[in-house]
């Protein structure tokens, strides 16, 4: 049996989608366990280029079951459109898709409630993807959620929707928004549900059978460790658990079943939305990273903030996730730089004293910290054609080894392009 979790080690967009697609060629089952359609995972493989937000990245392997576990929140419009779009590429995903009826459903009022919160917070807003993720998780934990189970029965759905609209509509109206019509919401959601109904089936038994048969399971994390609701830079974070530990509850497998944890980290740092990012660069180098890395959000199209690799944060997220192998991605984006910096810690603003442990401070303190850097020589040549570690220029090899040493996990993969084959695999010692 092998169960591999793929998780992001920074603020999301580390290229988890590319690695799940790559590893899925050997998988029997690929499952999402957290987040919702705030995720945007890009895959470039022989079947085409896909930007998926909910569908697990096993859809390109015709033998793999694709599972959306109960820890995921589902926007039915996104799911229906995504399935249609994958089908239009000639891939049959419907017969292999299992969406847990335990998933909470994003309702039309969730993005509106989120808008009210974000507007009220003004300058201190989180800078969300606007998908209603915070409000749907808030309803879930306060027992106000509507689950896919509820949509199967018109009467149950109608009753729950009436209660929620009796709470949400006065709230929306108090902030100058029109009330939502019961009939319009009911019809819209039921109609979407009917289009995907055959895929709404509890995957628990399938997953357990697969474990018992010794199958290969791949768990696809969304977001990244620094966006985790507990351990991330709260309140500049997301609403779900983004860590490997979340895969257990988010899918329904015992923690000891997870045999490998592949942590994905970009060779530099990016962040979309607000919140502290100590290594952010607002100069020409930052611009180079943004342009060369095509750093624009998959879901919102917003430019991603860019900066140097933060080894202090990644060392922490490696430990938090129990990473067994690291995938260092987008190394090629650094190809033109003469000098490259790596953050190895922070200085406190008042005393100039070195801060040894990131996890002792919160987002406000992190915002004030100044990064301490080491500097390495760049390689100033293309790495895009490299397929073996020894194909990389010596300076690039030294950079990879330095990161390995600083974050405390072995690098198993280096990615030098978006395509599936633009990957260097490094055998474990």
The site for Mg ion (CB under 5 A) is made up of 13, 40, 298
Query: CA 125 to CA 128: how far, in whole Å?
Result: 8
SS3 340: strand
- Whether the CB-CB separation of 343 and 308 falls below 8 Å is answered with yes
The residue whose Cβ lies closest to ligand IMO is 273
Contact between 115 and 134 (Cβ < 8 Å): no
Q: Is 401 a catalytic residue?
A: no
Binding of ligand GDP at residue 42 (CB under 6 A)? yes
Among 13, 28, 228, 332, binds ligand IMO (CB under 6 A): 13
Choose between 240 and 383: whose C-beta lies nearer to ligand IMO. Answer: 240
Which residues lie across from 340 on neighbouring strands?
Answer: 376
Q: Is 168 in the site for ligand GDP (CB under 6 A)?
A: no
Residues 6+ apart with CB under 8 A from 351: none
Which residue among 7, 17, 233, 318 contacts ligand GDP (CB under 6 A)? 17
Cβ 57 to ligand IMO shortest distance, Å: 11
Q: Which is nearer to ligand GDP, 85 or 197 (CB)?
A: 85
Q: What is the β-pairing status of strands 29-32 and 65-68?
A: parallel
Q: Is 119 exposed, middle or buried (0-12, 13-18, 19+ CB in 10 A)?
A: exposed
One-character DSSP codes across 364-375: HHHHH-EEEEEE
Q: How far apart are CA 294 and CA 290, in angstroms?
A: 6
Among 5, 9, 11, 14, binds ligand GDP (CB under 6 A): 14
Structure tokens at 274: 């607000």
Should residue 129 be labelled a site residue for ligand IMO when binding is judged by CB under 6 A? Answer: yes
Nearer to ligand IMO, 40 or 215 (CB): 40
In the β-sheet with 29-32, what is the strand arrangement from edge to edge? 97-99, 65-68, 29-32, 216-220, 2-8, 260-266, 325-329, 411-415, 423-425
Instruction: Map the footprint of ligand GDP across residues 283-322, applying CB under 6 A.
Output: 293, 298
CA 341 to CA 343: how far, in whole Å?
7
- Tell me which of 21, 28, 37, 41 is the catalytic residue: 41
List the single partner that 416 binds among ligand GDP, Mg ion, ligand IMO, none, CB under 5 to 8 Å by kind: ligand GDP
Task: List Cα–Cα distances, 365 to 11, 257, 316, 351, 370, in angstroms.
Answer: 18, 37, 17, 13, 10
418 binds, among Mg ion, ligand IMO, ligand GDP, none (CB under 5 to 8 A by kind): ligand GDP
Judge whether 104 and 136 are in contact, CB under 8 Å.
yes
Q: Which two tokens stand for residue 232?
A: 């991330």
- The entry of Mg ion, ligand GDP, ligand IMO, none that residue 18 binds, CB within 5 to 8 Å by partner kind: ligand GDP
- Considering the complex, what minimum distance in angstroms separates the CB of residue 211 from ligand IMO? 25
Catalytic site residue 21?
Answer: no
Pairwise CA distance, residues 429 & 290, whole Å: 35
- Interface with ligand IMO: number of residues (CB under 6 A): 24
> Binding to ligand GDP by residue 412, rule CB under 6 A?
no
In angstroms, rounded to a whole number, what is the distance separating the alpha carbons of residues 170 and 176?
A: 10
Task: Please tell me whether residue 227 binds ligand IMO under the rule CB under 6 A.
Answer: yes
**First-residue to last-residue Cα distance in the chain:** 22
Is residue 67 classed as helix, strand or coil in its secondary structure?
Answer: strand
- What character string, x for contact with ligand IMO (CB under 6 A) and - otherwise, covers 285-314? -------------x----------------
Candidates 255, 259, 209, 215; CA nearest to 26 is: 215
Residue 129 partner contact from ligand IMO, Mg ion, ligand GDP, none using kind-dependent CB cut-offs of 5 to 8 Å:
ligand IMO
From candidates 44, 116, 158, 206, binder to ligand GDP by CB under 6 A: 44
- Does residue 275 bind ligand GDP (CB under 6 A)? no
Q: How many whole angstroms separate alpha carbon 42 and alpha carbon 19?
A: 10
Which of 58, 69, 111, 134 is the binder for ligand IMO (CB under 6 A)? 134
In the complex with Mg ion, which residue's Cβ is closer, 220 or 310? 220
Q: Among residues 126 and 383, whose Cβ is nearest to ligand IMO? A: 126
List contacts with ligand IMO (CB under 6 A). 8, 11-13, 38-41, 126-129, 131, 133-134, 222-224, 227, 238-239, 272-273, 298
List contacts with ligand GDP (CB under 6 A). 8, 12-18, 40-42, 44, 293, 298, 329-330, 332-333, 415-418
Return the active site residues: 13, 41
């Amino acid at each position: 049996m092998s169960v591999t979790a793929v998780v992001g080690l920074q603020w999301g967009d580390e290229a988890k989608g590319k690695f799940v697609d790559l590893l899925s060629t050997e998988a029997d089952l690929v499952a999402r366990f957290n987040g919702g359609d705030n995720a945007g995972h890009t895959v470039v493989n022989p079947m085409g280029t896909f930007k998926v937000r909910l569908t697990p990245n096993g859809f390109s392997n015709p033998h793999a079951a694709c599972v959306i576990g109960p820890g995921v929140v589902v926007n039915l419009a996104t799911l229906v459109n995504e399935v249609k779009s994958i089908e239009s590429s000639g891939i049959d995903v419907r017969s292999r898709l299992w969406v847990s009826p335990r998933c909470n459903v994003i309702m039309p009022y969730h993005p509106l409630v989120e808008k009210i919160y974000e507007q009220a917070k003004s300058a201190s807003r989180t800078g969300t993807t606007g998908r209603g993720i915070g409000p749907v998780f808030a309803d879930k934990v306060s027992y106000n959620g509507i689950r896919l189970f509820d949509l199967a029965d018109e009467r149950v759905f109608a009753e729950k929707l009436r209660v929620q609209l009796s709470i949400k509509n006065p709230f929306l109206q108090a902030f100058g928004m029109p009330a939502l019509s019961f009939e319009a919401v009911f019809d819209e959601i039921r109609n979407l549900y009917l289009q995907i109904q055959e895929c709404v089936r509890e995957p628990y038994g399938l997953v357990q059978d697969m474990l018992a048969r010794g199958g290969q399971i791949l768990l696809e994390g969304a977001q990244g460790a620094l966006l985790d609701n507990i351990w991330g830079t709260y309140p500049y974070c997301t609403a779900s658990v983004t860590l490997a530990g979340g895969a257990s509850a988010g899918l329904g497998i015992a923690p000891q079943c997870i045999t490998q944890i592949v942590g994905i980290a970009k060779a530099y740092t990016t962040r979309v939305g607000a919140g502290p990012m100590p290594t952010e660069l607002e100069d020409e180098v930052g611009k180079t990273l943004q342009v060369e890395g095509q750093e624009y959000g998959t879901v919102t199209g917003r430019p991603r903030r860019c900066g140097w690799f933060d080894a202090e944060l990644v060392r922490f997220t490696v430990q938090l996730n129990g990473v067994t192998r690291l995938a260092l991605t987008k190394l090629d984006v650094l190809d033109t730089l003469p000098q490259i910096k790596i953050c190895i810690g922070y200085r406190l603003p008042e005393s100039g004293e070195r801060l040894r442990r990131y996890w002792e401070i919160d987002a406000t303190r992190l915002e004030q910290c100044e990064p301490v850097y080491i500097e390495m020589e760049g390689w100033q040549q293309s790495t895009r054609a490299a397929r073996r570690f020894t194909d990389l220029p010596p300076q690039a090899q030294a950079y990879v080894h330095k990161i390995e040493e600083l974050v405390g996990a072995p690098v198993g993969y280096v990615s030098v392009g978006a395509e599936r084959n633009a990957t260097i695999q490094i055998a474990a010692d």
